[in-house]
Amino acid sequence: MKTAFIYTDAYLDYDYGPTHPLKIIRLKLTYELIRAYGLLAFPSVQTMITRKAEEDDLAIFHSREYLNALKEANEGHLGEYAYSYGLGPGDNPIFTGLYNWSLLVTGATLQAVDFVAKGEGEIAFNIAGGLHHAMRSRASGFCYVNDPVIGILKLLDQGKRVAYIDIDAHHADGVQVAFYKTNKVLTISLHETGYTLFPGTGFEYEIGEGEGEGYAVNLPFPPYTDDEVYVWAFEEIVPPLILAFRPDVVVTQLGVDSFYNDPLTNLQLSMAGYEKVIRQIKELAPRWVALGGGGYDVSNVARAWTLAWAVMNGIELSEELPKSYLEKAAKVGVYEKELRGGPKFSPSGQSKEIRIEVERIVNYIKGKVFPKIGA
The pLDDT assigned to 345 comes to: 63
Residue 351 has pLDDT above 90, yes or no: no
The pTM for the full model equals: 0.97
pLDDT at 344 over 90: no
Residue 341 confidence class, pLDDT cut points 50, 70, 90:
confident
- The residue-averaged pLDDT of 166-179 equals 98
CA 217, CA 202: separation in Å to the nearest integer? 8
Mean pLDDT within 316-343 = 93
Local confidence band at 346 (pLDDT 50, 70, 90 cut-offs): low
Whether 191 is catalytic: no
Using the Cα atoms of residue 78, residue 79, residue 80 and residue 84 in order, give the sign of their dihedral: negative
How does pLDDT run across 247-296, given as a tens digit for each residue?
Answer: 999 999 999 999 999 999 999 999 999 999 999 999 999 999 999 999 99
Give Cα 30 to chain centroid, integer Å: 15
Fold type of domain 3-373: Arginase; Chain A (3.40.800)
For residue 29, pLDDT over 90 is answered with: yes
- H helical segments located in the chain: 25-36, 55-58, 64-73, 98-117, 147-157, 173-178, 227-245, 271-284, 298-312, 323-330, 351-368, 370-373
| Cα radius of gyration (the chain) | 19
The percentage of the chain sitting over the pLDDT mark of 90, rounded to a whole number, equals: 95
Dihedral of alpha carbons 222, 228, 234, 235, sign: negative
Is the confidence at residue 60, as pLDDT, over 90?
yes
pLDDT band at 348 (very low <50, low <70, confident <90, very high): low
Q: Tell me the pLDDT band of 312, cut-offs 50, 70 and 90.
A: very high
**pLDDT score at 77:** 86
Mean pLDDT of the chain: 96
**What's the pLDDT tens digit per position in 117-148?**
999 999 999 999 999 999 999 999 999 999 99
Catalytic residue among 132, 133, 171, 191: 133
Average pLDDT in the 293-305 region?
98
